[in-house]
Amino acid sequence: MKRPVLAIVIAVVLALAAGVIVFVYVAGADTRAMEQQEVATVVVAREAVPAGMSLSQAQADGLLFAETVPARMRPASALGPVDATNGTLVALADLPAGQIILATGVGAEVAQDQAIEVPEGEMAVSVLLDDPSKVGAFLRPGSRVAIFDTYAVESETENADGATDTTTVFQTRPLLDDVMVLAVGAVTRAQADSAESQAWDAQLVTLALTQDQAERLVHATRTGALHFALLGEDTRLTPSQGVTDQNLFE
């Protein structure tokens, strides 16, 4: 009686071992197949990439990732890793999350085939700003910003002889307290070549403004230096006479 039971136990153990061996073999089949064939690297959108954004900026913002796929499954027009040869290309249209980035979806600049939507009663005005002055890469259409202006003013002081000395100091004050960003786009190559430094960090920021706001902004771009601040949901500026060289540390 013991021998049949022992034989059954041995048979069951052997069957289980064979099952494990088959499972391990099948599980590794895909890996072995991948190792035996040529592979290629494609760039995939982790999150949606807005039209007009460069590949280098999208990668810096974490919107792209590289993925290895069998070479035979790689689309013919798929881009390789983002580097100096393709980093300046921009998305010609919004690229949805999960999409492989194709050469047909990027280009030197976005075609302006339609006008931006300007709120009724306002006008669109663009200014050229470097990265620090435009809050880096964080401005998007619909962002609300405050604008500060730094400009030169004359200051008069009385010297020891009772005479008046006139000196030039710089003052920074809020110019516009809450305006909407309509668009953020790259500069043209001609503009970049004519800029003094860090040309490709400069971008045009287009705002929706009333006439009074537009007059102030246009004047400030010609006479001072602008700096944008991205507003939080409940951020409100308070009236201020600003800061000068003389009261900066008071």
**Residue 200, pLDDT above cutoff 70:** no
DSSP 8-class letter at 187? P
Contact status, residue 146 vs residue 176, Cβ threshold 8 Å: yes
pLDDT digits (tens, 9 = 90+) for 102-131: 988 888 765 555 567 889 999 999 999 888
Side chain identity at 129, as an amino acid letter? L
Instruction: Give the per-residue pLDDT at 184.
Output: 85
Q: Are 209 and 237 in contact (CB under 8 A)?
A: no
Distance CA 250, CA 239 (A): 18
Encoding tokens for residue 36?
Answer: 């035996």
pLDDT at 78 over 70: yes
Instruction: Tell me, yes or no, if the pTM score tops 0.85.
Output: no
**Domains of the chain: residue spans and CATH:** 39-107 (3.90.1210.10), 123-244 (no CATH)
Q: Where are the alpha helices (DSSP H) in the chain?
A: 2-27, 29-36, 55-60, 189-194, 211-223
Q: Which positions ≥6 away from 225 have C-beta within 8 Å?
A: 133, 149, 150, 151
